[in-house]
């Protein structure tokens, strides 16, 4: 388990020390240094790729709040230089922070459905061609801090990180708005140097927050978001006697059944006879009785599916669309030939040990 505050600027321990109480999973399957979604060394160059190593999930342009931008600028490193270049470029700058330009957003909206994970052109402005590609890692925003392509605990893991995202995002934005009320931000058409000065001022002002300031940024919304995170952390219990299927997508492939309870980026290869077992999980019969004698349909499989969120307690509502076979909303939705291409590449990179 990991402490959410590890790797965050020390100011967050002062702003929301409660974040340190949430035991977060270590997402070992999202191997970012050698991206788990990119082709493995020696992969067939003719095969379609899900993500490229140079673009991967950093086909994104983060909104960074004013005090975060200030912290990046004062580090005087590669990330600070890229941030200065971004500010000099103009567009997307405001008293609250730095975000994508309107042109970038427009381009992204039109292209992301087919190019997410694969387009150098859509790559983040703070990405660099070096082993630790993110130059602002210590100050990355809530999205970058909490998004993973794969989760050790499947959908529950994703829910945890989504709540963590909400808590971090709320505190970042609340502090940014509060800084604006305290300071004197530049006008819309200010020079780059004025923006740099403003963002640095915000970072320094947040460092000086006292009890009065903390009371104003630790709003009800912020504290409720932290409480929701703590509730999700403790929600999932041991495997109950009676469970029901909760699959999002499944595909027969190469003698196995690829299945997931929450994301096509993170599929498990399960026995081809999986549905013989699932058909017996009727919400009344204990799963031990439902196992039968088919090879591969055993307790280890049930435990694995439970841990990965592919089984639910009967009183948990079936999620909308849980019986859908087709791809649902995702980067590829609406592009059938791309769905097949992505599935082929995911299958090619799949290892039964995953
Ligand atoms: S989280 Fe992003 S960089 Fe990390 S392994 Fe997944 S796609 Fe690759
Ligand atoms: S800020 Fe870092 S992690 Fe986030 S998209 Fe950019 S390079 Fe990737």
* Domains of the chain by residue range: 2-233, 244-348
At residue 316, the pLDDT reads 58
* Spatial separation of the C-alpha atoms in residues 13 and 17, rounded to whole Å: 4
What local confidence, expressed as pLDDT, does residue 345 receive? 52
**CA-closest residue to ligand 1 atom 1:** 148
The residue to which tokens 């067939």 are assigned: 44
Q: In the prediction, which pLDDT does 326 show? A: 30
- 318 to 244, 259, 278, 327, 342: CA distances (angstroms): 9, 16, 14, 18, 27
Q: Which residues line ligand 2 (CB under 6 A)?
A: 58, 60, 62, 124, 126-127, 134, 136, 140, 144
Distance 112 CA to ligand 2 centre (A): 16
- Ligand 1 within 6 A of CB of 50: no
Ligand nearest to the CA of 263: 1
What tens-digit pLDDT sequence spans the chain (354 residues)?
A: 788 999 899 999 999 999 998 888 899 999 988 888 888 777 777 676 778 888 899 999 999 999 999 999 999 999 999 999 999 999 999 999 999 999 999 998 888 878 888 888 899 999 998 777 899 999 999 999 999 999 988 887 888 899 999 999 999 999 999 999 999 999 988 999 999 999 999 999 999 999 999 999 999 999 999 999 988 766 567 889 998 888 888 888 888 888 888 888 888 899 988 888 888 888 889 999 999 888 889 999 999 998 888 888 886 544 443 332 233 334 434 444 444 555 555 554 444 333
Backbone angles phi, psi at 273, to 5 degrees: -85, 15
DSSP SS3 for 32: helix
User: What pLDDT does residue 40 have?
Assistant: 78
Nearest alpha carbon, ligand 2 atom 6: 124
End-to-end C-alpha distance for the chain, whole angstroms: 19
CA of 148, closest atom in ligand 1: 1
Name which residue sits closest to atom 5 of ligand 2, judged by CA.
58
Residue 251: phi, psi to the nearest 5? -145, 125
pLDDT attached to residue 150:
92
Res 340: pLDDT: 53
Query: Cα of 251 to ligand 2 centre, how many Å?
Result: 32
Q: Which residues contact 193 (CB under 8 A, 6 or more apart)?
A: none
Q: To test ligand 2's pocket by mutation, which of 32, 56, 58, 139 has the most ligand atoms within 8 angstroms of CB?
A: 58
Which atom of ligand 2 sits closest to the CA of residue 60? 5
Q: Where would I find the beta strands (DSSP E) of 149-267?
A: 244-245, 249-253, 256-260
Q: Which ligand is nearest to the CA of 58?
A: 2
**Residue 63 φ then ψ, to 5°:** -85, 120
């Amino acid at each position: 388990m990991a402490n959410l505050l590890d790797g965050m600027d020390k100011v967050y321990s002062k702003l929301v020390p409660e974040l340190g109480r949430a035991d977060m999973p270590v997402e070992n399957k999202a191997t970012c240094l050698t991206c788990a979604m990119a082709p493995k060394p020696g992969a067939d160059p003719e095969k379609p790729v899900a993500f490229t190593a140079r673009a991967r999930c950093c086909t994104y342009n983060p909104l960074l709040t004013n005090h975060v931008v200030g912290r990046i600028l004062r580090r005087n490193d590669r990330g600070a230089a890229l941030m200065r270049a971004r500010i000099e470029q103009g567009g997307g700058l405001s008293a609250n922070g730095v975000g994508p330009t309107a042109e970038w957003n427009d381009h992204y909206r039109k292209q992301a459905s087919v190019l997410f994970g694969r387009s150098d052109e859509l790559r983040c402005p703070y990405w660099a061609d070096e082993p630790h590609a993110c130059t602002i890692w210590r100050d990355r925003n809530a999205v970058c801090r909490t998004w993973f392509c794969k989760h050790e605990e499947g959908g529950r893991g994703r829910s945890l990180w989504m709540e963590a995202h909400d808590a971090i995002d709320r505190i970042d934005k609340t502090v940014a708005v509060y800084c604006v009320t305290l300071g004197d931000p530049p006008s819309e058409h200010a020079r780059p140097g004025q923006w740099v000065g403003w963002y640095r001022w915000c970072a320094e002002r947040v460092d000086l927050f006292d009890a009065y300031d903390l009371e104003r940024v630790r709003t009800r919304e912020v504290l409720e978001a932290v409480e929701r995170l703590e509730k999700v952390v403790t929600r999932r219990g041991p495997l109950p006697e009676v469970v029901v299927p909760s699959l999002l997508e499944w595909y027969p492939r190469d003698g196995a059944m690829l299945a997931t309870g929450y994301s096509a980026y993170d599929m498990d290869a399960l026995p081809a006879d999986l549905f013989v077992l699932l058909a017996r999980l009727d919400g009344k019969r204990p799963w031990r009785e439902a196992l039968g004698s088919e090879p591969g349909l055993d307790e280890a499989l049930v435990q694995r599916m439970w841990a990965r969120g592919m089984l639910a307690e009967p009183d948990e509502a079936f999620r909308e669309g849980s019986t859908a076979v087709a791809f649902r909303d995702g980067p590829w939705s609406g592009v059938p030939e791309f769905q097949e291409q992505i599935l082929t590449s995911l299958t090619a990179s799949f290892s039964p040990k995953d």
